[in-house]
Chain A
Amino acid sequence: MRNLFLLTVSYALYLNWKPVYALILLFVTVMTYATARQMERTERRWLVVWLGGAVSVLPLLLFKYFDFINETVYDLLASVGLRCELQGLNWAIPIGISFYTFQALGYLIDVYYKRIQAERDFLIYALFVSFFPSIVAGPINKASQMIPQLRALRPYFDYGKAVEGLKMLLWGMFMKVVVADRLGLYVDTVMPNYMNYTGLTCFVASLFYTIQIYADFAGYSLMAIGVGKVLGFELTENFRRPYFAISVTDFWHRWHISLSTWLRDYIYISLGGSRCSKVRNYWNIFVTFLISGVWHGANWTFIVWGMMHGLYQIIEKAIVQQKCNYGWLGKSIKILITFMLVNFAWIFFRMPSLADAIGILAQITRVDSTFSLYFDNNTFLYAASGSSILLMKDYTEEFFPNRFQILNSSNIYVRWAFYLLLVVLILSSGVLGSDQFIYANF
């Protein structure tokens, strides 16, 4: 009954966005469920998984990539004098389609490799795919982790999990509305009109975007995990203080962990992983992150962004710099270098075209640009205060994990005072008119 209730709520919330797209969700659910069941009944498992997987991925390809492929092919043909324009679809992308499609595909592949058995209960499987806290923007849950929880007889209420869940919800909300949305006001003013601002302003906007996308995505993930916890479920951890990474390789162990785990398990390892020649290993890394770029969006900017991260990691591997064997100074320098490399790549992620990405980089590096900064009192004040609290919390958790606990302090007065402070900050400093998470576009 509880699972049925959760499934009803999940679909009701999904219908609230755009009713007809719930049919796409249902299609992917039914297709992958049937494919997994069929795999257990046939010898030709490989054929069934390929066919079922291909059909399940079709909605994602159609809605997200058709127009991009269409335009790219048209531009290519036009450049050699051949023109064969196909009508674009211009369909809006069903919300969360990248997330739930990958989640369902991961399940199929796990069944194929016999890591798990095909789920017989359609209700449980449908709930796994459509689970409302994580359907919009992840985390991408593993069937082996999630389905046993759905099947298990859970207590109606777990006090400890509920409290932890509410803390995550509160902190996630703070990250999203106080930090991310505030920084977004500056970024959205400068970056679309970068030509009208100095190089310093564009550089500051790029730094703000780097923090914005982290606070936005990690904040939302935390809220999703928090809601899951209140309901009694443990969802996959998705972020672990990524801007304290000592290398880009380390960054991907901390950023969007559920996606990087998915890519590692189903793409990287399938290609051979690191159990092959060096060159082949570099190729595997490159392809994995190329796919990561493609997953993020139907635009060359995302593909370039993915390739950049692939190249970063190949170079790191070649010069053996994935880990850190230096003292605190060396570690600090590595953290800073990694941050700047990631910041540079985010520019491509943010801008609407390669030309604009190159344009803003040119603006940042212009020699004759003045050092004046577009300074908006309000934005800077609120952004600085919110970001400082976020930085302080991440810093203490990274370097002093068992000390300086605030949200998890053993002193009830400290904990509750911080909860109240967060609520007051959300009400007084949060951008409460915003209604869109960055990653919800995926």
Chain B
Amino acid sequence: MKQFIEKITFFLVLVVIADRVFGNLFALACRSGKVEYICNQCDQDLLIFGSSRAEFHYNTRMMEDSLGISSYNCGASGFGIINSYGYLKLILERHKPRIIIYDVATHFDLEKSDNFKFIRNLKTKYDNPSIRDIIHKVDPLEKWKMKSLVYRYNSCWLYNALRYFFKKNDYMLTYNHGFKPQNKIFKLNTRRTEKDNFVIDSLKMSFLEDFITSVYSSVYMVAVISPTWDGGDEEKIAYAKRIFNKYHIQLLDFSHSPKYYHHDEYFADLAHMNATGANEFTRDMIHYLRNHYEQ
């Protein structure tokens, strides 16, 4: 028994050492990619936040050229209000943008779902107090798991390490300003799965309100529901509208806009526009901002 306890103790010491060594290695290897850029370098005056719908729908190069305001698209697949709020906090620590566009995706921003996936990339910034608060709100148990440096890079170290070692030139970071155009043309052979229940996630609600209150007195903010091929759920959109109205923030709803609704040529799939659609939609947004944003 004594020998067993000694060996276990020695093994645990080795685990702690390995955790420190690999944790620091992962930290070195994960210093690239869009998320790192957003957290550490992004200083453009017009920022887009949201999910893949934000990433694919807003041509920020076009916006920059037309409006004369530096622009960056902070949207990415799977992003919701929880991680967007985290990135906003990190940006606000060093820079105040002039315009924020938040592309609302009700599934990621309002509805109850697994919130764990939204803190995946935030964990690498756990040393920041704002990020720590967000992670603890999502799951208080994370406080204990975060004692491990390796765990902070859980589910993001491998891809980032490969990117670092192969020095993948991410054109989105520079040339395309975070915008990721889709080149597919929509073909109707699928149907959207119907969800029966719409359950509001109070945690996401609180983060959405925190997001708004962080900027609404000093930054021009617009919330947008960008086009979908078959229109969005009106009940969910109405709920989103109520939240933004509370803070007198305009929610532009393009989900049922006749210009885009059921127009195959503008879409890559049911939920995402292709490059043609994105450029057309960006023109609409540029037009709106020209008429409503006073510099």
Contacts and interface: CB of A to CB of B under 8 A. Distances in A.
Interface of A: 156-157, 159, 162-163, 192-193, 195-197, 377-378, 381-382, 385, 416, 419-420, 423-424, 427-433
A192 B158 CA distance: 28
Contacts of B22: 424, 428
B19 A427 contact: yes
Interface in B189-205: 190-193
Contacts of B19: 424, 427
Contacts of A433: 114, 116-117, 139
Nearest to A381: B158
Given A427-B150, A432-B154, A157 B1 contact: yes
Interface in B149-164: 150-151, 153-159, 162
Contacts of B15: 420, 423
Nearest to A369: B189
Interface residues of B, number: 32
B155 A192 contact: no
A159 B159 contact: no
21 contacts: A162-B4, A192-B193, A195-B190, A195-B193, A196-B191, A196-B269, A196-B270, A378-B156, A378-B158, A381-B159, A382-B155, A416-B14, A419-B11, A420-B18, A427-B19, A427-B148, A428-B22, A428-B26, A428-B153, A431-B155, A432-B145
Contacts of B1: 156-157, 159
B18 to A, nearest CB: 5
Task: Please list the 7 inter-chain residue pairs (A to B) with the smallest Cβ-Cβ separation, ordered nearest first.
Answer: A433-B116, A427-B150, A196-B190, A157-B1, A427-B151, A193-B193, A428-B150
Nearest to A376: B77
Contacts of A431: 155
Contacts of B148: 427
A438 B191 CA distance: 28
B217 interface: no
Contacts of A424: 18-19, 22, 150
Given A427-B150, A428-B151, 19 more contacts: A162-B4, A193-B193, A196-B190, A196-B191, A196-B193, A197-B190, A382-B155, A416-B11, A416-B14, A420-B14, A420-B15, A420-B18, A423-B18, A424-B19, A427-B148, A428-B157, A432-B154, A433-B116, A433-B117
Contact of B159 (A193, A195, A377): A377
Contacts of B153: 428
A311 B208 CA distance: 55
A163 B5 CA distance: 11
B295 interface: no
Q: Which of A156, A159, A196, A419 counts the most chain B CB atoms within 10 A? A: A196
